[in-house]
Amino acid sequence: HHFALMHLPGNSKYVKNFIQGAVQSDVAILVIAADCFDDGCVAKESVIMQHLRICHACGVKQLIVCVNKMDLVSNAPQKFSQVKETLSKILERKIGYNV
């Protein structure tokens, strides 16, 4: 098996490198903070949304979503469910992934 890991911070100067990596990828891992949704990180033109669109457009077939920083939110089980539901809708309706 061959695999490569990329870390892509939310900086627009890395988008070209991200596209080059995404074109060669079958799977992507999105690590998203639980409190991110309170800050509008999945707004229409956010960096996360841009990365998700690029992944889908480049043919990344599978997406693994990891929710971190659960310790920063109250009612963690409810917050996780909210994040899961919100992100599932975005991935399916706005990006085009089958959830």
Give the C-alpha separation, 39 to 3, whole Å: 33
Phi/psi of residue 81, nearest 5 degrees? -60, -40
Please report, for residues 24, 25, 94, 99, the alpha-carbon distance to residue 20 in angstroms, rounded to integers and kept in the order given. Answer: 7, 9, 23, 25
pTM of the complete model = 0.80
Which one is predicted more confidently, 62 or 9? 62
Q: Which pLDDT score, from 0 to 100, does residue 9 have?
A: 65
Give the C-alpha separation, 12 to 54, whole Å: 13
Enumerate residues 6+ apart whose C-beta is below 8 A from 80.
34, 67, 70
Average pLDDT over residues 29-36: 86
Average pLDDT over residues 4-22: 76
Q: Quick: pLDDT tens for 61-99.
A: 999 999 998 888 887 889 899 889 989 999 999 999 998
